[in-house]
Structure 1
C-alpha cells in the first residue's frame, strides 16, 4: 500500500478506523474473519485455528477452477495468520500437521488444474512446519511427526517437507529418518510404496552428504533401460562429498552415444577434472560443451580454462566454423549476435532463410530486434516476415496483436533498405500477404 494512503488512514484516528473495520465485518465474512484473527490473544490462537482447519476439512462445496485462485489465497492467509499469532513451536507444529491431514478433503473437492492449491501444502505448509520445528528442541517428537505426515501422502503434496529436513533435524535424527525409510523400502511389498520410500531416502542422503546411501536408493528406482540420469545423479553425489575419482567412474559408465544428457555430463566433467587436476581432460570437456551449445556461459567456462587472452581468436575461429555448416542452428546465430559478429549473422540468416521457423518466436524476435538496432535491416525484415506469417497461418485471433506488431515493424524499416538482394520488396510482399489472408478481417481492422 502506498505510504500516502497509510498516512491518511493514520490521520483518521483510532475511533474512525475501528468504525470502518466494524462496517467491513458487517458486509463480508472475510472482513469478520480478519477482525477475529486480529483480536486473538495468544491463549486463544491455537484453539481458534484448530477449529478453522476442522471447518475447512469438513466443508464439501466444490472449488471450481475460477475460484481456485481466491481459495489458494484463503489457505495462504490462514497459514500466514498461524505463523503471526501462534508463538509456541509445538502448538505451531500440531496445527501444521492438522492442516496436512485435510489435504485429501481439500484436493478432492477442488479443480486444481493450476496446481496452486496443492502448492500451499507442498510449499507454504512445509515452510511453516520447518519454521516451527527449527525452534523446537524435542527432535524425537518431531521425527515421529514427520513420519506420520508422510505415512499417508496420497496426493504427493507432503513429501516436500523432507527438502527442509536438515533445517530442523540434526545429523543423528536425519540418519534415523533415513534408517526408518530404508527398513520400510526393504520390507514393503507394494512396488509403488517401495519406490516412494527409496525416493525419500535419496532426499535425505543428499542432506546427509552420504553418496553411498544415495547410490543404493537411486539404483533401487532405476529402470535398466534408462540408467544415464541415475549415473549422473550418483556422480554428482560423490563429487559433492569430495570424491571426484568415484564421480568420474560413474560418468564413465554412461554410453558415449547417449546425447540426451550431454550438457549435464560435460558440465560435470569440467568440475570433476578440475578437482582431479587434469587440465587437458578439463579443456576437452569444456570444448565439447561449447561446441555442443555455443553461448556466453559456455564460452566463459572455456576461457576460464584456456585463458581469457584467447577470446578473440576463439570467436573468430568459431565464426568461420559456424558459417561453413549449412544447417540452421539457433544457438550459433545467437552466438554471432552476442559477440558482435553482425555482418556474419546477416550472412547466416540470408543463406538459411528457408530454414527459419516463425513458430520459434521466443528466440527469433530478440534476434530481429538486435539486427534492426544494429542497422542490419534486411535480415530483420526476413525474420519479422517469418514471425508475421506464423501468426497469420495459425488462424487464432488472440495472437493477432503480435502479427500487427510485426507488420508495423516491417512498415517502419522497409524504407531503410536500398538493396533487397533479390528479395520481394515490402510493398509487393504486403499485397501478397493481404491477398492470401484478406478474409481475416479481425486482423486487418486492428492493423488499420
Structure 2
C-alpha cells in the first residue's frame, strides 16, 4: 500500500500559488470561518484601513449574535475573537494606532456579551479579553488620546465590569491617563460615591435574596454594588498614582485589622520605603497563631522586619512559620541568612520537623520539593505507611515517581495506597490508573530484596483478587495490560 504524502509546508509550497489559491477558495466557499480569515488576511496586507473595516464589521456581527456556546462549542468563537484581536494589535496598530485603540475598545465592549453566552469555567474566553486589556496600554500610549476623554471611557468601562474583564484596566492605562486623567478618574469615582441609589416606595421593593440577616432587596444590592465599585476604583487610581495613603483610606479601621488586608497595605508601604508604618499595620492585625498561618501576612511581616534591620527577629519568624506550615521558600530564605556551615545542621533540624509533622500529605509535599531529602521521604513513607491517603493520588504519584529508582519498596507503598483507595471506593474512573500502578508495582517488585512485614507483590495481588474479584471493569483494565 503506498504511503500517503506528508502534509507540511514544503509539500504545500510545491503545489504552486495557483493551485493553493484554488484550494483556499474551495475551502472558503464551504466554510464561513475560513472565508472570514482569508478576507481579514487580504485586508490586513492591503492597508490598516481595510483591515479596520473588516474587524469593525465582524465585531458588530458578534455583538448581535444570541448563540450560546457550550463547553465543547467554544473553539469557533475563541478562534474568531483571537483573529480579530491579532489584527487589531498587529497590522492595524502598527499602521494606525488611533483606529486600533477605537477597535480595541469596541472589542472589549463585547466582553459581557460573549461571556454571558458561553460556558467559560476554564477561563479560555475570558483570557482573550484580559489579553486585550494588556494590549490596551501600549496602543493607547501610541495613539495618545486626550486624557480627560480617556478617563471618561475608563470610568464607564470600570463601572460595567460584570465578568471582571476590566479589573486591571486603570493600572494598564495609568501612563496614557497621566496625572490629569487619573485626577479626573478619581473625581468621577468620588462623585459616584456621593450619589446614593434611589430608594423606591416600600410597596415597590423587590426582594432578590434571603439570608441569615433577613431579606435583601434590589435597591440594597445596587447600593452595595455601587459602594464596592467606588472602593475598587479609588484603590486602583491610588495605586496607579503611587498614592499609598489613598489606597489605605478605602479600608475602614476594622478592615485594616484583617491580616490579609494588612498584608496588602504593608506591601505597598514597603514599596514606598515606609517599613515602620508597614510593621505598625501588620502588628495591629496579628493573626491567631494557633491556626494555619496567614501566609501573605507572614511574608509581609518578615519583609518589614528585614527592611527595618531586625534580622534576628526576621529569622525567628521564618523558622517558626516554617515549623507550622512547612513552607519551603521560608526555609530557603532562613538558610541563606545563616553563617557558613550552620545551614547544614539547620537543614537537618528542618527535615526532622517535617518527618514528625502531623499531616503526612503536607510532610510529603515539602520533602518531595527538597532535593536532598529523598532518603528521608522513603523513610517517612515506610514508617507512616498506615497514614497514607490514597485520595491524594497526585502527591503519592509524584512520590512514587521520585522514589522508584533508589527506593522501590517505598514507591510500591505509595502506589498501593492509590490502588487501595480506587478499589475500596469503587472509583471506576480511576481503574485504568490503578491497573497501570499495579503494573509498575510488578516491575518494582523485581528490585525489592527484603519485604520485611510488608506483603510481597504476589501476596498483595492475591488479596486484591480476593477482595475485589467482582469489579469486572477493573479486571478488564488489567486484562488490557496483560495482567489478569
Q: Could you tell me the TM-score, scaled by structure 1's length?
A: 0.89
Instruction: Give the superposition deviation at 1:366.
Output: 1.9
> Structure 1's 101 and 381: CA in aligned 2 closer, same or farther, altered over 3 A?
closer
Once structures 1 and 2 are overlaid, which stretch shifts more, 384-393 or 79-88?
79-88
Query: Mind listing any 5+ residue stretches in structure 1 that lack a counterpart?
Result: none
Q: Which residue of the partner structure matches residue 173 of structure 1?
A: 181
Secondary structure at the counterpart of residue 18 of structure 1? helix
Separation in 2, partners of 1:322, 1:396? 31
Q: Which residue of the partner structure matches residue 119 of structure 1?
A: 127
2:136 maps to 1:133: no
Q: Which residue of the partner structure matches residue 207 of structure 1?
A: 240
**Residue by residue, what CA displacement relative to the aligned partner does 1:357-381 show, whole Å, maximum 9, x if unpaired?**
011122122222222212x232222
Cα contact 1:209–1:240 (8 A) shared by 2: no
Instruction: Give the superposition deviation at 1:429.
Output: 1.5
Q: Which residue of the partner structure matches residue 250 of structure 2?
A: 217
> Structure 1's 175 and 436: CA in aligned 2 closer, same or farther, altered over 3 A?
farther
Instruction: Give the superposition deviation at 1:125.
Output: 2.8
Q: Which residue of the partner structure matches residue 79 of structure 1?
A: 85
Cα contact 1:90–1:136 (8 A) shared by 2: yes
Of 16, 19, 23, which aligns to 1:16? 19
Q: Which residue of the partner structure matches residue 420 of structure 1?
A: 451
Of 300, 315, 322, which aligns to 2:332? 300
TM superposition outliers: structure 1 runs of 4+ over 6 Å: none
Instruction: Give the superposition deviation at 1:403.
Output: 0.7
Separation in 2, partners of 1:296, 1:193? 42
Q: Which residue of the partner structure matches residue 70 of structure 2?
A: 64
Instruction: Give the superposition deviation at 1:295.
Output: 5.3
RMSD (CA atoms): 2.7
Instruction: Give the superposition deviation at 1:443.
Output: 1.8
> Structure 1's 38 and 381: CA in aligned 2 closer, same or farther, altered over 3 A?
closer
Alignment of 1:28-427 (within 5 A): 28-40=31-43, 41-86=47-92, 87-121=95-129, 123-138=130-145, 139-189=147-197, 190-219=223-252, 227-258=258-289, 259-294=291-326, 296-323=328-355, 325=356, 327-336=358-367, 338-374=370-406, 376-427=407-458
Separation in 2, partners of 1:63, 1:377? 48
Separation in 2, partners of 1:395, 1:373? 30
Q: Could you tell me the TM-score, scaled by structure 2's length?
A: 0.83
Separation in 1, partners of 2:11, 2:382? 62
